[in-house]
A and B are shown apart, each in its own frame.
Chain A
């Protein structure tokens, strides 16, 4: 099964700035998801974008998907200190009629107040 690879591995910004994280993958996908993880906690689903969609918004989050480049980006606008966390993209792998999300190493985001 494939996994997405996030870039950069670490990102440090000031509160109010925008944060952009990228995800690249190798084979065709059904959908791509972004998750967030606070230190030592479980992952929380943020947003899903299907392979036939190019852009999706949810509050301060904007996700794009370019299937020709096999890449996605997550933009967090007007960042806050509370956005400090690790962010993961998950690409799906077909298994037994379902799709199992497969994760990369994540991007560690630090937002300085």
Chain B
């Protein structure tokens, strides 16, 4: 139990569907992240939110839409996805700031399959 909970753990969707991934952290952290993990590729940083403000968007296609309503919750809204978007999506949190080390606490991931 890392204090970061992701739901659902598994999701299968068609290319025309709209779905959302949810992440909740109980650690009192002020930064939350979405990473994408595909087979044989490095972990890809998608989005970063510091104090609910998006500070990083690594050229992610608009079919992925993040939402951070407060510092404890993070969503990834999915629509019109492609089969190559199938991957493990990992949420993480940290206590951001110049005095902090950047240690990340990860959830267990949401395994997404796009048919």
Tell me, rounded to whole Å, the shortest Cβ–Cβ distance linking A44 to chain B.
7
Number of interface residues of B (CB under 8 A): 32
Q: A33 interface residue, CB < 8 Å from B? A: yes
Q: Cβ of B12: which chain A residues have Cβ within 8 Å of it?
A: none
Set of chain A residues within 8 Å of B45, measured between Cβ atoms: 1, 100, 102
Q: For chain A residues 27-66, which have a beta carbon within 8 Å of chain B?
A: 30-31, 33, 35, 40-45, 48
A100 proximity list for chain B (CB < 8 A): 33, 45, 48, 56, 102
- The reply to whether B40 and A41 form a contact with Cβ atoms under 8 Å apart is no
Instruction: Assess whether A48 is in contact with B101, with CB atoms less than 8 Å apart.
Output: yes
Chain A residues lying within 8 Å of B43, measured Cβ to Cβ, are 43, 88, 103
Q: Are the CB atoms of A101 and B104 closer together than 8 Å?
A: yes
Q: Mark B1-20, 1 if CB is under 8 A from A, else 0.
A: 01010100000000000000
In the complex, which residues of chain A have a beta carbon less than 8 angstroms from the beta carbon of B33? 100
Determine, out of A11-19, A75-83, A89-97, the stretch whose residues face the partner at the interface.
A89-97
Contact code string B79-102 (vs A, CB < 8 Å = 1, else 0): 000000000101010001110111
B102 touches A105 (CB 8 A): no
Number of interface residues of A (CB under 8 A): 28
Q: Say which residue of B2, B55, B88, B102 sits within 8 Å of A101 (CB atoms).
A: B102
Contact residues of B with A, CB < 8 Å? 2, 4, 6, 31, 33, 35, 40-43, 45, 48, 50, 55-56, 88, 90, 92, 96-98, 100-109, 111
Beyond the given pairs A98-B98, A100-B48, 8 more chain A to chain B contacts, judged by CB atoms under 8 angstroms and listed by A's residue number, are: A35-B104, A42-B4, A42-B109, A43-B43, A43-B104, A96-B55, A97-B97, A98-B100
